[in-house]
Chain A
Amino acid sequence: MVGNHAVAYAVKQAKPQILAVFPITPQTTMLEKLAEYIDSGQLKAELIKVESEHSAMASIYGAAVAGARVFTATSSQGLLYMTEMFYWAGGQRVPIVAAIATRAIAEPWSIWDDHQDFVSKRDAIWIMTMAENVQDAYDLTIQAFRISEDKRVLLPVMIGFDGFILTHTMERLEVLDDETVDMFLPKRDYNLIDFNDPVNVGPIVTPDNYIKYRYEAKKAMDRAKEVIEEIAKEYEKISGRKQYGLIECYMCEDAEYVFLAMGAWVGDAREAVKRLRSKGNKVGLVKIRTFRPFPKERLVKELRSVRGVIVFDRAYSFGSGGVLANDVKSALYNSGIDVMSVIAGIGGKTVRPLHFEKVMEEVLEGKRFEERWLYE
C-alpha cells in the first residue's frame, strides 16, 4: 500500500465516528480513500466536507468534545491555516488524531517534502510522532488513538510522515485484523457534553489559574513518555513487529559517532550505517520516533558513551539553528558530546545514503562543524 492508503486503512480500523478533511497535496489521496470507505459502508462514520482546514480541525474538535473518536489529515499550508484550532485542541487537551503528510511551506511554492510544517506545531501541546516508512505510519496511527485517549495522557496526537516519499510510495504492509484492533482500542470514554451536568468548555481563566492548566498539560506530556513506551510494547505483542516508542537506537552499542534524524530518511541513514560498519567504522543511528514529548532522558542514557552526534534536520529555525539539533544540544548540555548539525532535504532536495556516508566519513577523519547546509 502507499502511505496515504496505509494511514486511511488504520483509521478505518480505529473506527472514528467523525472525520473532517480538506484536500491538499500530498494528503489528498488519503481523503479520497476515507470517503470511499465511508461511501461503501466499510467505515460507519461521517466525513464533514468542510470549506477549510481551520474548519476541519474546528469541527472534529466539536465532535471530540461531545465524545466522538475523530480524525483529520493535512499538509503544509493547510496545517498552517489550521494552526489556531491546533492550539485550541491542544490547550483543551481533547483526544484527537491528525496525520500530517509533511511538505515544505510557501513561498516559494513547493509541494515537496520537508519537515518545516510539522515542527511548526511543536509547542501546540500535541504529542508528535514521526514515521520512517509506510509500516511505521500504519502502526503509529493505530497507537496514536490509544495514546491520545489514555486517561494518564488525554492529549491530541499527530503522526508525521513524509510527503510523496511515504504518502505516494508503495511498500509492503502488514495489517492487523479488525478484531485485534478492536481489542487494542477500547471504546472511547471521553465526553464533556452532559445535559444533566452542564459545563463551560474552555472559558476565560483568571491569571491565578491559567498557569496551573498549563502546568497540568506539562505533567501530562511528561507522563506520556512512559505511556508511549508501554503502548508500543503492547502493540509489539499483538503485531509481532518490533516497536520503538520514543527512540530507536540502531547499532549504537559500541558506536563512537551516530546519526540522529526523524522521518523517512532514517532509512537512508540506516543504509549509510550499514555501509560504514562494513568498512569497520564504529557508527550508529538514533531515530526520533516521538518528537514531542522530546525523549531527553532516553537520549542522555543511550548516547552517554558516544563522542559525537550528527543531527540531520529537514527543518530550520531561522536565526537559531536546526530544530532537532537544538533539542539534542539542549538534551546533551554539559555532556561533552559534540553535536553537529546538518540541514538538508529542504523543499524535497534529494538526499541519499551517500550524503549521510560522506558527512560521517569527514567527521571520522576529524573534521568538526557546528552547522552545515547540503544545498549543492
Chain B
Amino acid sequence: MSEIPEYIKNKRVIREQHFYRGNAACPGCPIPKELDLLLEVMGKKTVLVVPASCTTVIMGDERGSPSPVPVVHSPFAGAAAIASGLWRQLRMRGDTDAQVVVWAGDGATGDIGFSALSGAAERNENILYVCYDNEAFMNTGIQRSALTPYGAWTTTTPAGKREFKKPLPFIMMEHKIPYVATASIAYSFDYQEKVKKAKGIQGFRYIHLLSPCPPGWRFDSKYTIEVAKLAVETGVWPLFEVINGEFRLTSVSKTLLEKRKPVIEYLKLQGRFAKLSEEDIKIIQEAVDEMWEYIKQLVKK
C-alpha cells in the first residue's frame, strides 16, 4: 500500500472513526460528527448518558450501536442524575480516570431535565454535560422548546414562536461551575479545544453546542455547516468559554464585538424563519445586539 500523502494527513481526511457510520441519523444531521469529535478527545474510557432525544434513536437498537464506548440511556428528565451516580461509583470502584458525559438535547436540558441539570451543577458533580441544541423537540417531530428562538416556526408554533430563547449558557455560568462553553459544529477545532479543556477540569462542566437540524430548521441537508457558520458570524451564536468565572470569547467571535453580519443572512437560509415580518427581523437583530452589549461587559470584567 502506498504511503498516505502528507497533505491528506494534514487535512485530517484519513482518521480513525470514533463514532461509527451507518447510524440512524437524518441526512445532514451534525450529531454523529459532533459525537465523533467529542469521543476523539474524550477517549475510550468514557460513558455517555443519553436522555430521550434524537441520539436515543441514533444509538441504535438491541441489535447494535454505533458507539465505541458504553452508553446508558435515560428517560427525559434523568440524565444529569444518572450521571451523578455513575461517576461516583466509577470513582468508588477505582476508575478514577473514567469520564462521564451527558449528551442531551435542548428539551432534556432546558425544559424537562432542567431541575436535574441545575441540581447536578449545584452539587458540582464531576461530569461533562453537553447540550446539543437543535432548538426544538426534533425527535418527536419539531415541537417548540424553551430553546426555540424567537420567530421560529415549529409544529406547535405555526405562526412563529413569540418568546425568546432561554439563555442557558449564561444561566449555567451563573451556577459558578468550573467550566462553561458554547461551541459550533462549523468550528470543530474550537469545539474540540473546549472538550479538551473540559476533560482536564474536575467538577461540573457544561458545553452548549448549536446543532443545526435540516428537517427541523427547514434547510437543505448540504447547508448544515453553512448555517452553523452563519449563526456564529451574525452573532446569533457567540462562541465563548468561562473558566472559573473568567469569560472570554473564542475563535471568530473574538472579532465580532463591534461588527457582525446582519442576522437576516442567517435567517434567510432557513424555512422555519420564512414567514418573519420586517418587524420580527428587527426584533431579532436588536436582541442579538443587546446580547453583545452584555457580552462586552462580561469581556471587560
Binding site for B on A (CB under 8 A): 17-18, 20, 46, 48-52, 54-56, 58-68, 70, 84-85, 88, 192-195, 198-206, 209
Contact = CB atoms under 8 A, between A and B. Distances in A.
Given A61-B85, A198-B69, A200-B73, 12 more contacts: A17-B92, A17-B93, A48-B84, A48-B123, A55-B81, A55-B119, A56-B81, A62-B83, A68-B88, A193-B72, A201-B70, A206-B62
Contact of B82 (A52, A62, A194, A200): A62
A193 B85 CA distance: 13
B77 A54 contact: yes
Of A17, A58, A60, A84, most buried by chain B (CB within 10 Å of CB) is A58
Interface stretch (B44-52, B228-236, B278-286): B44-52
Contacts of A48: 84-85, 88, 123
24 contacts: A17-B89, A17-B92, A52-B116, A52-B119, A54-B77, A55-B119, A58-B85, A59-B81, A59-B84, A62-B86, A62-B89, A63-B86, A67-B89, A68-B92, A84-B78, A192-B70, A193-B72, A198-B70, A200-B70, A201-B71, A203-B56, A203-B65, A204-B56, A205-B61
B98 to A, nearest CB: 7
Contact of A88 (B61, B75, B116): B75
Contacts of A63: 85-86, 88-89
B139 to A, nearest CB: 11
Nearest to B62: A205
A59 B57 CA distance: 23
A209 B72 contact: no
The 7 closest A-B pairs by CB, nearest first: A51-B119, A62-B85, A58-B81, A63-B85, A55-B81, A59-B85, A62-B82
A205 B71 CA distance: 15
Contact of B90 (A193, A201, A203, A209): A193
B68 A203 contact: no
Interface in B137-155: none
A205 B57 CA distance: 10
Contact of B81 (A50, A199, A200, A202): A50
B67 interface: yes
Contacts of A195: 44-45, 69-70, 95, 98
Contacts of B56: 203-204
A263 B74 CA distance: 33
B89 A209 contact: no
Nearest to A54: B77
Nearest to B98: A195
B47 A193 contact: yes
Contacts of A66: 47, 85-86, 89-90, 93
A62 B71 contact: no
A88 B78 contact: yes
A63 B100 CA distance: 12
Interface residues of B, number: 44
Of B49, B61, B86, B89, most buried by chain A (CB within 10 Å of CB) is B89
Contacts of A88: 74-75, 78
Contact of A202 (B44, B73, B80, B89): B73
A203 B70 contact: no
Interface residue SS majority, chain A: mixed
B60 interface: yes
Contacts of B57: 204
B221 interface: no
A64 B229 CA distance: 42
B167 to A, nearest CB: 21
A55 B45 CA distance: 25
B59 interface: yes
A220 B123 CA distance: 37
B118 interface: yes
Given A50-B84, A55-B119, A59-B84, A67 B93 contact: yes
A372 to B, nearest CB: 40
A56 B81 CA distance: 7
Given A67-B93, A84-B75, A62 B49 contact: yes
A68 B89 contact: yes
B293 interface: no
Contacts of B47: 66, 193
B119 A201 contact: no
B60 A203 contact: yes
A52 B75 CA distance: 15
Contacts of B77: 54, 58, 84
Contacts of B115: 51-52, 54-55
B55 to A, nearest CB: 11
A85 B88 CA distance: 19
Nearest to B72: A201
A50 to B, nearest CB: 6
A194 B89 CA distance: 13
B83 A201 contact: no
B78 A203 contact: no
Contact of B78 (A20, A55, A200, A209): A55
B81 A62 contact: yes
Contacts of B290: none
Contacts of B123: 48-49
Nearest to B83: A62
